[in-house]
A and B are shown apart, each in its own frame.
Chain A
Amino acid sequence: MIVAFVMGVFFALQYYIPHPFTDDLLTGISKWFIVISGIAMGLGIVSLFYLHYHKIKRRAPAWGFSFVMFIALFAMVGIGIYCANAEVITETGKQTIYGWLYQNFMVPLQSTMFSILAFYVASAAFRAFRAKTKEATLLLIAAIIVMFARVPMGEYVYAQIPTFQVGGVTIPPSIGDITSWIMKTINMAAQGGISLGICLGIIAMSLKIIFGIEKSYMGSTK
């Protein structure tokens, strides 16, 4: 409690103090966090091992896959230590086994998970964009316009619409202009409002923590 208060007040004030002593302290303490999180990693590993060890022990459904996890983990750690954390040999630029593992296992797995987003975006759009209410209709129309404008085919189709001039202004304006106006004006307005609200929320939350009003993060409410 007191620790949180002291830390909070000190680091809030640190911002206003130009003396180098406080800057040194700030960088020093951020280095401390590297150490703390390094040591805390052990807790994570214990938790993970416990979970999967029990799965294997209890012969829970699909416990075999926990073996896969352990094998992969130990292989990665073993090879990582063997290669001393080097993905390439610095002098020659040759890949080590560790680097090869990373390149051919981690990279495709990672980018595949990431690319599944493309499918999810499509199905989310299909399900959610129904003109059930006024709000939903606006959501849908804005999304369609922007999606349409972002690709050459959309530009091409839109360019077939006849245009005419009124007092030096082209009507309708190009679709690129419409999207950029939406993004720059409406989007900025909404984002601005939301993030101003968020800022206030964050400040209030921080103050609650510093003054000890909110302390349930410590588990005990006493």
Chain B
Amino acid sequence: MIWLFILLLFFIPVSLPAQEPAPPTPIAIAKTPSEFQAYDTPNNCLDDVSLIWKAVPSEVELINKSKELKELNKTIAELQAKIDNAEKNKRDDKYYSQWEKKSADLDENKWKEKLAESEKKKIKISNEVDALKNKIIITEYIVYIDKNADGKFEQEVDRFPSNANWKSDKEWPFWVSGTKEGYHYVEINILEQFPAGTLPELKKKKSELQKVRSEIEKSKLEHKDYSKANSRKLNLMKEVNILEDKVSAEKNEIKSKPYYFKVTAADKDNSVLFTFPVLSAQAKDNWFNWSLAVNFLVMIFFCATVIWFISHAKKNKDLFLRRINGLDAVEEAVGRATEMGRPVFYMTGITGMDDIACICATVILGKIAEKVAQYDSQIKVPHRDPIVMTVCQEIIKEAYIKAGRPDAYKSDSSFYVTGDQFAYTAAVNGMMMREKPAASFLMGSYAAEALLLAECGSTTGAIQIAGSDSTDQLPFFITTCDYTLIGEEFYAASAYLSREPVLVGTLKAQDFGKLFILAALVFGAAISLAHLPWIIDIIKDFS
């Protein structure tokens, strides 16, 4: 039931709490916009305040119509180009088969029909646009700023034509209203309007410092003495540090005060038509990016399900797990290595320790190394990254201790080869050709070398088990390896091999997440089939 609730949360527009809109008080003249608001700080911005006001209805209509016109012109141009091209090809006799000619003719006719239709529409819309243009009186909006509410408002901040600066130009979380209805929207950087007084000095010092640095570099190359320049550099650096502190203090000072804004609308002749009431706003640092709130909710939700399932798993120990073929074969592969007296090769992919796929590969290595230790076989793990190598040494050692055979552990079973992609491949292939491993495991993320390693392994007759999240390389693993763990199976492997209830619990949570995605998919598809564009906007906001 919880997930249904969460699903609902996804689609119910929530009002935005953090921003406090000032009360709208319109000044009455003909066709006056009705709302004017000033916001403290919009999402993502630190030194900004924003102003929003509703545009005259005809302005909105004009903008929509002109957009439509633009689209139409584009399609017309595209169609024309297609037709021209087809004609040209016919003239130049570029078609080598009868079949091709026929289908080209067919396409051309279709395009021509569409073209005629579009032309008709274009005439209609451009007439409408002209009519609207005549209707509109406001040509320009002008924004002023002042430090006092009753000041003179002489500092002009922005000036733009009445068909520009729309709220819908920016990205908003889905619950913010008015992104479609035609609101004008201006962001004003306070620090740009009232810059810190010491800023120019800081800039000067910085460029001086840069010069001294390049001087030092030059004299270093020419083997000249540069101690003088060096001491100058150190002095400059101190000065810069002091100035930087000063500037940031000044900036904070500037930002700590509210500012007052006035917006006027002007017509063609630059005479003021009307003025909005003065409003105030203050720039604040944000500690949460509200446009990512949905993302955050999903994360919290997922954390909660994982924790819930884990605690559930502790109570309820035998959870069902479906079979994963590749993992059932691990035992067979390791056993075979013992029988044949040949080593097992294990590769952890190309990424480093900060990549989850690589971490997962090392975790699986622990489980496999344990089996290797039990069966008294040998494991070899060639590496491209020294940190991963170190981690794997630890893991293998621990696995041997766990299996009760710490004496059998060899410190050089996990070793560094090289960081170069193909040198690594060449070296590992060479080793495989010489040592003819009984089994080879390819786990983690791979690039082009995937097939090189896997095919070479299969020529040596090894049982190969691959597990990867690189979707580009999976086809090659499928064709060359005996067993392949596709995508999520690879991530499930460690839980599957260990059968620890806690880990299996997270698998359940994953399944739950999939169910959730499935529901969202089907639900979303149904709605978008019903042509409700707003739902697509909501989904777009998520990403």
Check A-B contact in the complex, CB < 8 A.
yes
> Which residues of A come within 8 Å of B, CB atoms?
12, 15-20, 33, 36-37, 40-45, 47-48, 50-51, 54, 62, 109-110, 113-114, 116-117, 120-121, 123-125, 127-129, 139, 156, 159-163, 165, 168, 170, 174, 191, 194-198, 200-209, 211, 213-214, 216-221
Residue with the greatest number of chain A CB neighbours at <10 A, chosen from B43, B99, B110, B295:
B99
A125 and B452 within 8 A (CB): no
Separation of A16 and B289 alpha carbons in the complex (Å): 5
Known contacts A19-B286, A116-B452, A197-B514; decide if A43 and B416 are in contact (CB<8 Å).
yes
Q: A17-B287, A50-B412 are in contact. List 20 more A-B contacts (CB 8 A).
A: A42-B386, A44-B416, A47-B386, A47-B412, A48-B415, A54-B412, A109-B422, A110-B422, A121-B451, A124-B480, A159-B96, A160-B97, A170-B99, A170-B103, A202-B356, A203-B513, A208-B306, A209-B359, A217-B362, A219-B397
If A194-B487, A196-B517 touch, whether A206 touches B356 (CB-CB below 8 Å) is yes
Contact of A124 among B359, B362, B476, B487 (CB under 8 A): B476
The reply to whether the CB of B425 lies closer than 8 angstroms to some CB of chain A is: yes
Shortest B182–chain A CB gap in Å is 27
Q: Which of B29-37, B203-211, B266-274, B489-497 contacts A (4 or more CB under 8 A)?
A: B489-497
Kindly specify which of B11-19, B122-130, B189-197, B388-396 makes contact with the partner chain: B388-396
For residue B44, CB closer than 8 A to chain A, the reply is yes
Q: B386 touches which one: A44, A129, A198, A219 (CB < 8 A)?
A: A44
B471 at the interface (CB under 8 A from A): yes
Q: Which residues of A contact B490 (CB under 8 A)?
A: 201
Known: A41-B386, A205-B356. Is A16-B415 also a contact (CB below 8 A)? no
- Looking across the interface, which residue of chain A has its beta carbon closest to that of B417? A48
- Contact indicator B389/A19 (Cβ below 8 Å): no
Tell me the complex Cα distance, A208–B508, Å: 13
How many angstroms between the C-alpha atoms of A209 and B383 in the bound complex?
Answer: 22
Give the residue of B44, B303, B391, B506 whose beta carbon is less than 8 angstroms from that of A217. Answer: B391
> B514 contacts which chain A residues (CB < 8 A)?
196-197, 200
Note all chain B residues with C-beta closer than 8 A to A110: 420, 422-423
Q: Is the CB of B289 within 8 A of A17?
A: yes
Contact A15 B471 (CB under 8 A): no
Nearest to B363 among chain A residues (CB) is A216
Chain B 156-193, CB-CB to A under 8 Å as 1, else 0, gives 00000000000000000000000000000000000000
Q: Can you offer 22 A-B residue contacts whose CB atoms are under 8 A?
A: A17-B288, A19-B287, A41-B386, A43-B389, A45-B416, A47-B386, A47-B389, A54-B412, A114-B422, A121-B451, A127-B458, A128-B478, A196-B517, A200-B488, A200-B517, A203-B513, A204-B306, A211-B306, A213-B502, A216-B362, A216-B494, A217-B359
The answer on a CB contact under 8 Å between B510 and A204 is yes
Interface of chain B, helix or strand or loop or mixed? helix
A128 neighbours in B (Cβ, 8 Å) = 478-480
Contact yes or no, A162 B99, CB < 8 A? yes
Query: Contact string, B93-108, partner A, CB cutoff 8 A, digits 1/0?
Result: 0001101101100100
Q: What is the minimal beta-carbon distance from A46 to any residue of chain B, in angstroms?
A: 8
Map CB proximity to A onto B347-370 as digits: 1 under 8 Å, 0 otherwise. Answer: 000001110110110110010000
